[in-house]
Amino acid sequence: MANATLSETVAQALAAEIIDGKLAAGDRLDEQSLAQRFKVSRSPVRDALRHLAVTHLVEYAPRRGFSVTRIDPARLQDMYDALAELEALCARFCALRASTVERVALERIHERARVAASKLASEDYAALNEDFHSAIYAGAHNETLKRVVFDVRRQLGPFRSRIFFQRARLESSVREHGEVLAAILASNAEAAAAAMRLHTSQTAANVIHLSSRPAGETTPRARKSGR
C-alpha cells in the first residue's frame, strides 16, 4: 500500500508537470534522477512511469527508456468522444435503474461538491467530481459498462486533473452536474444522457485547450483546499 501511494504521488506530480509544459515532449525521464528528486526508491518511480505510459503521457523505447510524449489534441478528442457516449449511456441507465438510496447519495455528493466549488476548494471538488461520476456508473447497474468507462476515464485522469484550478470551470461543472442530477431524479433518461454528453464535451474542450497551451505557460489556480 505504501509503495502504491508513493508511485501515485510521483505519477501525479509528473503528470502535472507534463500537462503544465514544465516537462517538454521528448524530455527523458531517468529513473535514478527521479528517485533522488522525490526521495524514493526506483521501484515506485518505475511504477509511476508505467502508469503514465498507459495514459500516453510518457513513452518507452528500448535502450532509451522513458520520455515525455507529445500531447496529441486529436487523440484526446478521440478519447473524449468515446467517453461522452459511454457516460451518456451510464446517465441514461442511472435515470432508469438507480434506487432511491442511490439517488439520495448522488444528491448529497452534488451538494458537497457545490459547497466545495463555492469555496474555490479545487482539490476537494476534484475528489467529489470523481465520486459524482462513480455514483452514476454504479447507479447504471451494468458492470461491463462500468469497467469500460472507468478504463477510459482512468487514461484521461492526468489530463483532467488540472481543469478545476480554473474558477470558471469549477462553476460551470457544478451547473452541468446539477442538470444531470435533475434529469436522473426525474427519471428522464433522454435528458440525463444529453446533459451528461454535454458535460463531458465541455470538459473535453477545457482539457484540450489547456493541453495545447505553449510550453511553460502556467495554469491559473483556484484557492487550494485545506486538505
CA distances (Å), origin 11, targets 88, 142, 151, 189, 203: 29, 30, 17, 37, 22
Provide the whole-model pTM: 0.76
Pick the CATH number of 73-211 from 1.20.120.530, 2.30.30.40, 3.90.1200.10, 3.60.15.10: 1.20.120.530
What residues does each domain of the chain span? 2-68, 73-211
Mean pLDDT lowest for which of 151-155, 202-206, 222-226? 222-226
Q: What fold characterizes domain 2-68?
A: Arc Repressor Mutant, subunit A (1.10.10)
The pLDDT value given to residue 3: 52
Report which of 207, 171, 169, 172 is spatially closest to residue 84, judged by C-alpha positions.
Answer: 207
CB contact set of 70 (below 8 Å; sequence gap of 6+): 25, 26
* Span 70-78, average pLDDT: 85
Report which of 126, 169, 157, 199 is spatially closest to residue 18, judged by C-alpha positions.
Answer: 157
- pLDDT of residue 224 exceeding 60: no
* Span 204-227, average pLDDT: 58
Higher-confidence residue of 5 and 136: namely: 136
Per cent of the chain over pLDDT 70 is 90
d(CA 48, CA 95): 37
d(CA 70, CA 67): 10
Mean pLDDT of the chain: 88
The pLDDT value given to residue 219: 47
- pLDDT of residue 40 exceeding 80: yes
